Amino acid sequence: MTNSTPAPQTPLLQVRHLCKYFPIMSKGFARKQIGAVKAVDDVNFDLMRGETLGLVGESGSGKTTCARTILRALAPTSGQAIFDTGDGVVDLAQVSEKDLKPLRQKMQMVFQDPFSSLNPRMTVGDIVGEPLVIHKLARGKELQDRVDEMLLKVGLRPEHRQRYPHAFSGGQRQRIGIARALIMKPSLVVADEAVSALDVSVQAQVINLLADLQDEFNLTYLFVAHDLSVVRHICDRVAVMYAGKIVELAESEELFENPRHPYSQALLSAVPSIDPDIKMNFDIGGEVADAGKLPPGCPFHPRCPHRFEPCDKVVPWLEPVEGSTTRTACHLYIPPEKIAAAGAAQAGSN
Amino acid sequence: MTNDTVLQIEDLKTYFYTEQGEIPAVDGVTVSLQRGKVLALVGESGCGKSVTSYSILRLIRPPGKIVGGKILFFPSDGVEPVDIAGLDETSDALYSVRGGHISMIFQEPMTALSPVHTINNQISEAILLHQDVTPAQAREMAIEMLRKVGIPGAERRIDQYPHEMSGGMRQRVVIAMALVCNPEILIADEPTTALDVTIQGQILKLIKDLVSERGTSVVFITHDLGVVAQVADDVAVMYLGRVVEKSDVRGVLKTPLHPYTMSLLQSLPGLGHRGARLPAIRGSVPNLTDIPPGCPFHPRCPHAVRGRCDVGDRPALRTFSNGGQAACVRVEEIHPHVHEVGHSNDPRVAPATV
Ligand SMILES: Nc1ncnc2c1ncn2[C@@H]1O[C@H](COP(=O)(O)OP(=O)(O)OP(=O)(O)O)[C@@H](O)[C@H]1O
Ligand SMILES: Nc1ncnc2c1ncn2[C@@H]1O[C@H](COP(=O)(O)OP(=O)(O)OP(=O)(O)O)[C@@H](O)[C@H]1O
Ligand code: SF4
Ligand code: SF4
Ligand SMILES: [Mg+2]
Ligand SMILES: [Mg+2]
| CATH number of the domain within which A191 lies | 3.40.50.300
A111-115, B18-22, B217-221, range with the lowest pLDDT: A111-115
Residue A297 included in any domain: no
A106-134 pLDDT tens trace: 999 888 776 677 888 999 999 999 999 98
- ∠ Cα A58 A64 A67 (to 5°): 130
Sheet of A33-48, strand order: A33-48, A11-25, A78-84, A89-91
Q: What is the pLDDT of residue A62?
A: 93
Q: State the closest ligand 1 atom to the C-alpha of A112, by its place in the atom list counted from 1.
A: 27
Cα torsion B34, B35, B40, B45: sign: positive
- Which of B238, B303, B340 for a ligand 4 pocket mutation test, highest count of atoms within 8 Å of Cβ? B303
B123-150 pLDDT tens trace: 998 888 878 899 999 999 999 999 888 7
Residue A146 included in any domain: no
In angstroms, the CA B5 to CA B131 distance is 26
Q: Does residue B249 sit in helix, strand or coil?
A: helix
Q: Is the CB of B303 under 6 A from ligand 4?
A: yes
- Residue in chain A nearest B194 by alpha carbon: A59
Q: State the closest ligand 1 atom to the C-alpha of A68, by its place in the atom list counted from 1.
A: 18
- Residue in chain A nearest B203 by alpha carbon: A282
CB A276 within 8 A of CB B229: yes
Question: What is Dmax (Cα atoms) for chain A?
Answer: 69
- Structural domain for A215, as ranges: 11-23+35-106+186-264
Beta strands of B35-140 (E only): which ranges?
A: 38-42, 64-73, 82-83, 102-105
Sheet of B242-248, strand order: B102-105, B185-189, B217-222, B38-42, B234-239, B242-248, B325-326, B318-320, B340-343
Is some CB atom of chain A closer than 8 A to the CB atom of B334?
A: no
Q: Is the CB of B65 under 6 A from ligand 2?
A: no
As a dihedral over the C-alpha atoms of residue A31, residue A32, residue A37, residue A40, rounded to 10 degrees, the angle is: 120
Q: What is the DSSP letter of B297?
A: T
When CB atoms are compared, the residue of A270, A273, A282 closest to B229 is A273
Q: What is the pLDDT of residue A160?
A: 87
In angstroms, the CA B18 to CA B10 distance is 25
The residue type found at A309 is E
Q: State the closest ligand 3 atom to the C-alpha of A261, by its place in the atom list counted from 1.
A: 5
Residue A331 included in any domain: no
Q: Is the peptide bond before B63 cis (omega within 30 degrees of 0)?
A: yes
What average pLDDT score do residues B10-35 get? 95
Q: Which residues contact A330 (CB under 8 A, 6 or more apart)?
A: A247, A260, A261, A262, A298, A316
Q: Which residues contact B328 (CB under 8 A, 6 or more apart)?
A: B244, B257, B258, B259, B295, B297, B315, B334
* CA nearest to A174, candidates A125, A112, A121: A112
Cα torsion B101, B105, B110, B111: sign: negative
Spell out the per-residue pLDDT of chain A, length 350, in tens.
544 555 456 899 999 999 999 988 887 777 888 888 999 999 999 999 999 999 999 888 999 999 999 999 999 999 999 999 988 999 999 999 999 988 988 999 888 776 677 888 999 999 999 999 988 888 899 999 999 998 988 888 888 899 998 888 778 888 899 999 989 889 999 999 888 878 888 888 889 999 999 999 999 999 999 889 899 999 999 999 999 999 999 999 999 999 999 999 999 999 999 999 998 888 777 777 777 788 999 999 999 999 999 999 999 999 999 999 999 999 999 999 999 999 999 887 75
In angstroms, the CA A246 to CA A43 distance is 6
* CA nearest to B223, candidates B24, B347, B43, B62: B43
Residue A222 included in any domain: yes
Q: Is the pLDDT of residue B350 over 50?
A: no
User: Which position has the higher pLDDT, B237 or A159?
Assistant: B237
A73-115 pLDDT tens trace: 999 999 999 999 988 999 999 999 999 988 988 999 888 776 6
Other CB atoms closer than 10 Å to residue A184's CB: what's the count? 18
Number of domains observed in the structure of chain A: 1
Q: What is the pLDDT of residue B351?
A: 38
**pTM score, whole prediction:** 0.90
In angstroms, the CA B30 to CA B221 distance is 15
Residue A286 included in any domain: no
Question: Which of B230, B244, B271 is the best residue to mutate to test the A interface, defined by the most A CB atoms within 10 Å of its own CB?
Answer: B230
Distance from CA of B298 to the nearest CA of A (A): 15
- ∠ Cα A271 A273 A274 (to 5°): 135
Distance from CA of A284 to the nearest CA of B (A): 6
The interface predicted TM-score of the complex, written ipTM, equals: 0.84
- Residue in chain B nearest A233 by alpha carbon: B274
* CA nearest to B326, candidates B265, B255, B271, B276: B255
* Ligand 5 midpoint to CA B274 (Å): 24
Pairing between β-strand A319-320 and β-strand B5-18 as defined by DSSP bridges? unpaired
CA A102 to chain centre: 22
